[in-house]
């Protein structure tokens, strides 16, 4: 099973700042089958990024993903108040699929 470790646990930033979230895998994620989800309070997760760097339909271009192998990053270029959420990475290259423990983004 591939274990995903996200850092930091919590990120507290002001609107307009850049947020950088990390996801590290215990073994290589083949084909860059790494996704990022956003979960707002009381809502289901929403797919933001798939294939490590491809934005899902309707996702603003301030969200971007990068990385390969075992190290991946989600960047929010200019934080907006509605970006308050927990962000999860998921690998879908191995079975079972696994999620990271999440990074909470707080808006100052």
Contact residues: other proteins, CB under 8 A: 1, 31, 33, 35, 37, 43-47, 50, 56, 88, 90, 92, 95-102
Of residues 62 and 104, the one with the C-beta less far from other proteins: 104
Q: What angle do CA 75, 81, 87 make, to 5 degrees?
A: 45
Strand partners, 54: 50
Minimal distance, residue 28 CB to other proteins, in Å: 17
Q: Cβ neighbours of residue 14 under 8 Å, at least 6 residues apart?
A: 79, 107, 108
Closer CB to other proteins, 14 or 57, in the complex:
57
Nearer residue to other proteins within complex by CB, 17 or 47: 47
12's tokens = 């507290």
């Amino acid at each position: 099973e591939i274990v995903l470790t996200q850092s930091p646990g919590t990120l507290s930033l002001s609107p307009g700042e850049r947020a950088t979230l990390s996801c590290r895998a215990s073994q290589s994620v083949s084909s860059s089958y790494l996704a990022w989800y956003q979960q707002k309070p009381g809502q289901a997760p929403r797919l933001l990024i798939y294939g490590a760097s491809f934005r899902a339909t309707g996702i603003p271009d301030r969200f971007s993903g990068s990385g390969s192998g075992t190290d991946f990053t989600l960047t929010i270029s200019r934080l907006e108040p509605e970006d308050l959420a927990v962000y999860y990475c998921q690998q879908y290259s191995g079975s079972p699929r696994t999620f990271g423990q999440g990074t909470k983004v707080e808006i100052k």
